[in-house]
Amino acid sequence: MTPKQTIKLISWNVNGLRAVVKKDFFESIKTMAPDILMLQETKLQADQRTDEMINLPSFESFWNYSTVKKGYSGVAAYSRQVPAKVITNFANPRFDGEGRVIQMDYDTFTLFNIYFPNGQMSDERLAYKLDFYDWFLEYAQGLRDEGKSLIITGDFNTAHNDIDLKNPKPNSKRSGFLRVERDVLDKMVAMGYVDTFRHFHPDTIKYSWWSYRFSARKNNAGWRIDYFFVTQDLIDKGLVKEAFIDNEILGSDHCPVGLVLEI
């Protein structure tokens, strides 16, 4: 029988890869020791990457960029094992242009690294965010119908329940904690997706994002908006061993979140 392999996945909204590189980014990666690392909000174009960013030792890197605006959005992924397939273009012009998704297919699961839209700027951006959720869940359901097991990670830009942010009541009318946004996460759970951090830590108060204002991180006045969701079958098969939030890693207004698999 083939011995099982432990795989550590890390997801981190870096709020500008060039900025975080100046703040011990590479040392933080060594400390976290991921097998697969997913970054959101890289704010890069292809020609702005350095060799150091592209060629992280022992990793293959994959990138998706915003084509509608420079210095905006963008995602990247690093993997020790080369995926069987990588997709960054989903033949959807409305959503592809902001460079928000990388799909990586492995033998046991399909992994999505996603920077979901922020709806705070305007009603139009809130509608865009909700439409993006709908598009993605429909796309993901097609893969599930083919029998694929999914892992979905990234910055969802929505706190799910009162436990997931410091001040739920004052923020109930603010995008990021609107009922209509939270309903999407309810829908995901109803569809058989599992919020892995809550699966292992149902009552733990821990956040993954803090405003740069009002000493929010120092006072731990944060939001949990970065997630690892998995399809229920991965839980049922006992492949998901732990989920965590690493508040000790600095450099961004978000901290990394993680998942440990045994496959």
Is 1 part of a structural domain of the chain?
no
Q: What tokens were used for 191? A: 């569809």
Return the closest-CA partner of residue 11 out of 193, 212, 185, 255.
Answer: 255
At a CB cut-off of 8 Å and minimum separation 6, what does 17 contact? 25, 39, 42, 43, 44, 53, 74, 76
Region of 61 please: left (phi>0), alpha (psi -120 to 50) or beta: beta
CATH number of the domain to which 101 belongs: 3.60.10.10
Cα torsion at 56, 33, 112, 124 (round to 10°)? Answer: -80
At residue 2, the pLDDT reads: 72
pLDDT in tens, 194-214: 999 999 999 999 999 999 999
Supply the range of the domain harboring residue 104. Answer: 6-262
pLDDT in tens, 137-152: 999 999 999 999 999 9
User: Catalytic amino acids?
Assistant: 155
Please report, in angstroms and rounded to a whole number, the separation of the first and last CA atoms in the chain. 12
**Which whole-number Å values give the CA distances from 72 to 43, 53, 66, 236, 249, in the listed order?**
4, 17, 6, 38, 23
* Residue ranges for the chain with pLDDT beneath 50: none
How far is it, in rounded angstroms, from Cα 116 to Cα 140? Answer: 14
pTM of the model: 0.97
Is 157 part of a structural domain of the chain?
yes
CA pseudo-torsion sign 44, 215, 10, 205: negative
Is 204 part of a structural domain of the chain?
yes
**Which residues are paired to 149 by β-bridges?**
none
How far is it, in rounded angstroms, from Cα 252 to Cα 47? Answer: 23
At residue 1, the pLDDT reads: 63
How far is it, in rounded angstroms, from Cα 253 to Cα 245? Answer: 14
Domains in the chain, number: 1
